[in-house]
Amino acid sequence: MSADTSLDAARERLIVGLDVSTWAEAEAIVDALGDEITWYKIGYQLAFAGGLPLVGELARAGKRVFLDLKLLDISNTVEKGVESAMALGASMLTVHAYPHAMRAARRASEGSALTVLGVTVLTSLDEADLAEAGYGLSIPALVERRALAAREIGIGGVVASAEEAARLRPLVGDEMAIVTPGIRPAGAAPGDQKRVATPAAALRDGASHLVVARPIVAAERPAEAARAILREMAGVLA
């Protein structure tokens, strides 16, 4: 694979998190990154600050949007939420990986291009957090159970930390997406993430897409930071 082809492949796998509080900040980041980035994530912070219409704007500009809203409610509400996300123009959408929510999301998205992802265990949690929440399983065991349920139900993929990606890839097969937050370049501070990995390590372990926010959006030169991560990813994909 040529260097240019490897970089193109990396661009299809890197998702930049627009973890900012205003539309203007988000647009400034998108403008600064230009053609370097294809995928953007919109989560609660921007969505609740009036950023949901940006999904359509980005889609019309040829970008792809990962709408990270982690839906969890009664089945009918999840179905209607997924339908609304599709109308916005999202390419990926998260639901919490409870079986009823994943089934509802699959029904709503069937026949569409939307990839539904089941969030297994948040990358900001560790074993103590899980125990405090009342779970009797370890993180690896709970992640595995939820990933297997996602595969059986037939949604497009899961969200899991890079620590679990190597364990999950043989279980879910090559077709399902494994989207990994908590990606930090070597030497970067982990912030509020507890299960982190470098871009290269996450890809080697079986991740299909990497979500990176602060190391890019909070950088003094976001485009340079993005290019460095893309080059690291391209080295693995070559």
What is the structure's pLDDT at 236? Answer: 93
What is the structure's pLDDT at 189? Answer: 53
Question: Could you give the domains of the chain?
Answer: 3-232 (3.20.20.70)
For 70-79, the CB contacts below 8 A with 24+ separation are 70/94, 70/95, 70/96, 70/119, 71/95, 71/96, 71/101, 71/105, 72/96, 72/98, 72/101, 73/101, 75/100, 75/101, 75/103, 75/104, 76/104, 78/104, 78/105, 78/108, 79/104, 79/105, 79/107, 79/108
Which among 63, 70, 80, 194 is annotated as catalytic?
Answer: 70
Confidence of residue 194 (pLDDT cuts 50, 70, 90): low
Q: What SS3 class is residue 65?
A: strand
Q: Is the pLDDT at 190 greater than 70, yes or no?
A: no
Residue 107 neighbours by CB under 8 Å, 6+ apart:
79
Confidence of residue 184 (pLDDT cuts 50, 70, 90): confident
Token code pair at residue 190: 């982990």
Q: Which carries the bigger pLDDT value, residue 141 or residue 187?
A: 141
Token code pair at residue 72: 């969890």
What is the structure's pLDDT at 2? Answer: 66
**Nearest in space to 98 (alpha carbons), one of 144, 150, 160, 139:** 150
Token code pair at residue 125: 């949690």
Active site residue 194: no
Please say whether the beta carbons of 182 and 209 come within 8 A. Answer: no
What is the structure's pLDDT at 1? Answer: 65
Confidence of residue 182 (pLDDT cuts 50, 70, 90): confident
Q: Is the pLDDT at 58 greater than 80, yes or no?
A: yes
Q: For the segment 88-129, what is each residue's pLDDT rounded down to a tens digit?
A: 999 999 999 999 999 999 999 999 999 999 999 988 888 999
What does the pLDDT average to over 209-228?
95
Please say whether the beta carbons of 49 and 82 come within 8 A. Answer: no
What is the structure's pLDDT at 225? Answer: 95
